[in-house]
Amino acid sequence: MKTFMKAAMIAACAAVMSPAMAQAQSVNAAEYFGDQKVVYHFNGNGGEGNKAYKGGLRNLQNHINAVGAEHLEAAVVMHGNGLGMLSEAMNDTDLQGAVASLKGQGVKFLVCANTLKGRNIDYENDLYDVWDTDIVPSGVAELSRLQQMGYTYVKP
Amino acid sequence: MKTFMKAAMIAACAAVMSPAMAQAQSVNAAEYFGDQKVVYHFNGNGGEGNKAYKGGLRNLQNHINAVGAEHLEAAVVMHGNGLGMLSEAMNDTDLQGAVASLKGQGVKFLVCANTLKGRNIDYENDLYDVWDTDIVPSGVAELSRLQQMGYTYVKP
Amino acid sequence: MKTFMKAAMIAACAAVMSPAMAQAQSVNAAEYFGDQKVVYHFNGNGGEGNKAYKGGLRNLQNHINAVGAEHLEAAVVMHGNGLGMLSEAMNDTDLQGAVASLKGQGVKFLVCANTLKGRNIDYENDLYDVWDTDIVPSGVAELSRLQQMGYTYVKP
């Protein structure tokens, strides 16, 4: 059996385990991937049942499971309709749980100030768990800033 | 108040001002972001009222406002259905204005020759303000070329 | 006539020729683009007639025609609904032909092990022409891995 495939099976198992268990068992996948930086870009609607948001965040959880939280610097950048992730998370407990869990693993959730201003969004009352240090002047400029700092880009 | 937040508020204000005013007042955001290069990728339809095109170009304007036109090298690459941006701009004056304004701030609008050929598009008559120097052999290969030249990638 | 435009016309012609003919005639475009690495990201549905898959793969063929197969290292990463490309290719002969032709030109088609596991997909029986060396532990982590190896990113 090829090394690739071994790593694949380990990581696949990891996906259905707790982050802690996954971390312990995904040694081979972690070696294969090494240290990574990544920014996930959200600017669309979540759709029915916030499916797009949950799917994108599940991708990020799988990403962490494969690479290992200690080997991954991850950020989520939201602008435009993408802020819907955190407004929907006020009431959708599954979505809220996904955000909270990822934050607990070190993922930064960054919010575009242009969108807050343009749409009169009060981040303290309208969005789930946003602090002033989570606000970036411009979501799109932040995407470029992070990429220039060595972050890879994923549009889920 | 954190530096992040100060920059955010300045940039947020900048978003509703003229580019010139924004440039003068977004000093902090410009410092935070530094010099940037970015390519925006358009290959889809604009949808009702060309909403997707206008939204994507508004993102780019906000990007410029935050970083400062003199600190940003920006290109738009269009291929496939994305050329609809410039065919629609023939008649949609809002869209035309957005394109013209961005060009005035130094943004290059690059058109895929494969798409022109494959769809029998006469760029001089069918598209808004395209010159032979705006044509690239392949839109997708241009996306890779620019990234290899240090441009970051944004799919709005 | 500008060099850009000459290259554009050559590449445009190339797009409707066989890969071999295109390779011979796209010398100028190949010079303009130089050596490239690129990863194409597929995670969505193909839609009616697998239009999205066929369009994305046609983009990649045009990319090869412009740059030249010997100057391009290309990979397709599929995860989530994007694996639909290879399940649909079991029965859609046009799609199957596009995949096979690109593989013949050196493109790697990489499949996410997390998705196989999460959806109980048997890649040997349910997907078109997947081998164990085509499986990566995580599609999204592979996107980051390739970008960190110098691959540019295209979301078609």
Q: What is the CA radius of gyration of chain B?
A: 16
Q: What is the pTM of this model?
A: 0.86
Q: Residue B11 and residue A143: Cβ atoms within 8 Å?
A: no
As a whole number of angstroms, the distance between CA C120 and CA C114 comes to 10
Q: Is the Cβ pair A36, C140 closer than 8 Å? A: no
Out of B5, B67, B152, name the one closest to residue A147 (CB). B152
Does ipTM exceed 0.90?
Answer: no
* Closest-CA residue of chain C to A11: C137
Q: Is C12–B145 a contact, with Cβ atoms under 8 angstroms apart?
A: no
Query: Which residue in B80, B114, B155 is closest to C11 by CB distance?
Result: B114
Confidence at residue A27, expressed as pLDDT on a 0 to 100 scale: 66
State the residue for tokens 């808004």: B128
Substitution target in B10, B36, B42, B62 with the highest count of A β-carbons within 10 Å is: B62
In the structure, what pLDDT confidence band is assigned to residue B2 with cuts at 50, 70 and 90? very low
Positive or negative torsion for Cα C117, C119, C122, C123: negative
Task: Assess whether pLDDT exceeds 80 at residue B80.
Answer: yes
Render pLDDT for A99-146 as a digit per residue (tens, 0 to 9). Answer: 999 999 999 999 999 999 999 999 999 999 999 999 999 999 999 999
Those residues of chain C that have pLDDT short of 50 are: 1-25
Do B67 and A141 touch, CB atoms closer than 8 A?
A: yes
Q: Which pLDDT score is estimated for A14?
A: 40
Q: What is the pLDDT of residue B27?
A: 66
pLDDT tens for A7-44 read 444 444 344 444 444 444 456 888 999 999 999 999 99
Q: How far apart are CA A70 and CA A61, in angstroms?
A: 13
Residue C4 touches chain A, beta carbons under 8 Å: no
Please name the residue of chain C whose CA is at the shortest distance from the CA of residue A36: C144
Interface test with B, best of C39, C42, C154, C155 (most B CBs within 10 A): C154
Contact, C82 vs C43, CB < 8 A? yes
Residues 36-75 of C with CB under 8 A from A: 41, 43
Tokens 């940039």: give the residue.
Answer: B11
Hunting for tokens 């010997």 — which residue is that? Answer: C70
- pLDDT in the model for residue B123: 98
Helix/strand/coil percent split, chain C, to 5: 60, 15, 25
What are the structure tokens assigned to A63, written together? 């990403």
CA angle, corner A81, sides to A75 and A82, nearest 5? Answer: 15
Query: What is the predicted pLDDT for the residue at B9?
Result: 41
pLDDT, chain B, mean:
88
Report yes or no: A109 and A135 within 8 Å, Cβ to Cβ: no
DSSP assignment string, B97-115: HHHHHHHHTT-EEEEEHHH
pLDDT at B108 over 60: yes
Q: How far apart are CA A14 and CA B28, in angstroms?
A: 43
Shortest alpha-carbon distance between residue A18 and chain C (Å): 14
Tell me the count of A-C CB pairs closer than 8 A. 94
pLDDT digits (tens, 9 = 90+) for A38-84: 999 999 999 999 999 999 999 999 999 999 999 999 999 999 999 99
Question: Does the structure show a pLDDT above 90 at B24?
Answer: no
Contact A13, A25 (CB under 8 A): yes
List A39's β-bridge partners, or say none.
Answer: A75, A153
Nearest to C133 among A4, A34, A153 (CB): A4
Partners of B15 on chain A (C-beta within 8 Å) are 114, 117-118
What single-letter DSSP state applies at residue B128?
S
Q: How far is B128 from chain C (nearest CA, A)?
A: 18
| Chain A environment of B9 (Cβ under 8 Å) | 113
**Partner B contacted by C143 (CB < 8 A):** no
pLDDT of residue B17: 44
CB contact under 8 A, B66 and A141: yes
